[in-house]
Amino acid sequence: MSITQKNGGDAAETPAAEETPQDPEDTGTAGKSDSEELGAAGAQLSTQPADTLAQAPGLGVIGWARWMWRQLTSMRVALILLFLLSLAAIPGSLIPQHSDQLKVDAFKKAHPTISPLYERLGMFHVYSSPWFSAIYILLFVSLAGCIVPRTWQFVGQLRSKPPAAPRNLTRLPAYSTWHTDATPEQVTAAAERALRGRRFRTSVTGGSVAAEKGYLREAGNLLFHVALFGLLIGFAATSLEAAQGGKLIVEGDGFTNNLTQYDDFSGGTLYGKSDLKPFGFTLDSFDATYARTGPERGSGRKFQANIHYWNGADGKPVKGTISVNHPLSIGGEQVYLISHGYAPVVTVKDAKGNIAYQGAVPFLPQDNLGTAIGVVKVPDALGKDGKPDELAFRGIFTPTFALDNVQGPHSSFPALDYPALILNAYHGDLGMDAGLPQNVYQLDTTHMTQLKDDNGELVSKALKPGDTLTLPDGRGSLRFDGVKTWASFTISHQAGNEAALVSGAAAILGLMGSLFIQRRRIWVRALPSQDGTTLVEMGGLGRSESARIADEIGDVALQLQPDAPARPDPDEAPDDDGPDPDQPPGNPAPQTADEGARA
């Protein structure tokens, strides 16, 4: 018995017991390629369509359309589009997008020269720009046009029988031949049992058995493409139905998921204010701890918002917590903790002694140690004459007050160890009645006058909790009552995450199957010889040439030896050392592919 493996078209054979007789019908095959000789048996072992990029299209509109469709649905073009899509997404991560308009405005102000060009190219809204959408849609169509025909072709392969054995099995990359005293029917039956035991699909035609295995390779390949298609659908759903809004909430206040409650809100194409889920929550308290000693002094150790939330119009309040990287899901929406800070509680009285404003005013932190700036606007204040005399205060809040000649008043630690409020006072017209939107954290002093004391010095004072700033000329006063914490949240609606997760896992499984499973075919033919014995021919073909198919041919040949033992070669000289005591008489040990190549 001999086992032969071809490498690069050159066959290296082990000494055979007897040469395979030439088929009389094979005389006209000289000069033909191996693929032409193997016919259907040597057809490609995949569902990948033939490459038509180099073929010239036919004349006419239909020919050009057919050619363009073939190129669009080819794997080469799909990979190019996928690469272009990844490149097109880069500006979206480097350039501020319209979902954060404040950053976009700051970028335009900092780069006035290049911003108009970016605006024309759609760089501030990359994912909804025409050029990004064009690449996305073309990739979508390319994958769809690639998956559908390959799926039907694969289904046809599953329903069809393995192809019949080629005329000359010696042209296959791996083959084996031997003579046996068993009848052709016995060899065929044994071969079918052996191959089925190895989970091959078999088909018996005449005196030959055709077997095929490794369909999961193509199934994995198709699963990978379908999963990639699912990822595109998931990303599209996320882009079209995504929505998010921000809300800053002071300790003790609440939020209801209504458009008017948001500080800022951006909805997707298919998601608007009518799609908002009915839920809300109240910020009960905020826990923050910091490192007190060491090189990381002042760095945060714990940030946690303690809330009560309800889901639905009649939902009962339930306790919950939201911390960094641990959002809370309410009504299918995700609530993220973004930042936190302090809100000094003040009471402002006007010249008439009336309380014109009372409450907590959020101050925005400017550094990691808690130094924050803010504005107190009092549009309802009255002057001594009873006429409107609007007041405003602008200044700094420090949770741990410190003062030096370089930084001036600042915070030396982010915890409330020694809180202080440093304010300047203004009066005049805030411009809030003009109907123009204003930033609540900024003060427009165009129509405001900064107050001065009797000595001509600007009114400014550092207040501790309980202290009062008295305004000159009897214009009123401001009392620093205490400090509350505030937290900023992002409420996010994201669709398609589940589809993207499932598709990503399926893509990994499909890729593993397409990489590690080898599709192969094996044929066993049993023919009667002129000397009364049976000639057994066995050949194998894999999708890619490797030693695995030769090894599997050898394993099947050894498994057939009990039912179809190889006859000894009468012309083979015995070894000088005598017969192998471990080898049964009349059953020479088959050689492996590597041994055959060395022979």
C-beta pairs of 77-83 under 8 Å, 24+ apart in sequence: 77/142, 78/139, 78/142, 78/143, 78/146, 81/135, 81/138, 81/139, 81/142, 82/139
For the chain, which residues make up each domain, given as ranges?
Answer: 1-22+165-214+520-599, 45-158, 240-340+491-504, 342-483
pLDDT 10s digits, 227-270: 888 888 888 777 777 788 899 999 999 999 988 899 888 777 77
Residue numbers in the chain where pLDDT is lower than 70: 1-59, 99-100, 102, 434-436, 544-547, 569-599
Cα–Cα separations (whole angstroms), residue 563 to 157, 179, 308, 449, 473: 31, 12, 78, 109, 118
Cα gap 358→344, rounded to integer Å: 11
Cα gap 485→339, rounded to integer Å: 11
SS (H, E, C) 102-130: HHHHHHHHHCCCCHHHHHHHCHHHHHHCH
- Position 489 scores a pLDDT of 95
Cα gap 554→306, rounded to integer Å: 69
Which of 274, 287, 284, 340 shows the shortest CA–CA distance to 317? 284
- Position 139 scores a pLDDT of 87
CB 393 within 8 Å of CB 376: yes
Structure tokens at 466: 């309980």
Measured in whole angstroms, the distance separating CA 288 from the mean position of its chain's CA atoms is 33
- Position 252 scores a pLDDT of 94
- Position 587 scores a pLDDT of 43
pLDDT 10s digits, 467-493: 999 999 899 999 999 999 999 999 988
Cα–Cα separations (whole angstroms), residue 397 to 304, 332, 418, 545: 22, 37, 11, 74
Which superfamily, per CATH, for 1-22+165-214+520-599? Alpha-D-phosphohexomutase, C-terminal domain (3.30.310.50)
Q: Which H or E run includes 241?
A: helix 215-241
Say if residue 189 is exposed, middle or buried (CB neighbours under 10 Å; 0-12, 13-18, 19+): middle
Structure tokens at 507: 């893509």
Cα gap 168→193, rounded to integer Å: 23
CB 346 within 8 Å of CB 358: yes
pTM of the model: 0.62
SS percent in the chain: helix, strand, coil, step 5? 30, 30, 35
* Number of separate helices (H) and strands (E) present in the chain: 12, 26
Cα gap 337→300, rounded to integer Å: 14
From the CB of residue 193, how many other CB atoms can be counted at a distance below 10 Å?
Answer: 15
- Position 146 scores a pLDDT of 81
CB 521 within 8 Å of CB 41: yes
